[in-house]
Structure 1
Amino acid sequence: MPLELVEHHMANGFKQALIAVTTERDRQARANMLQTGWNTLDTLIGPTTYKEEEAYNGFKDELTDYSKYKGNWLSM
Structure 2
Amino acid sequence: MGEWSNGLCGCFNNITLCLITYVAPCYTAGKNAEAVGDSCIMVGVLYWIFPLIGIYFAAQARGKIREQKGIEVSVLYLSKDCL
The TM-score with structure 1 as length reference comes to 0.28
**TM-score normalised by the chain length of structure 2:** 0.26
> Comparing both chains, which one has the higher relative contact order based on Cα–Cα distances under 8 Å and sequence gaps of 6 or more?
2
Instruction: Report which of the two has the higher share of helix.
Output: 2
Q: Which structure would you say has the larger Rg? A: 1
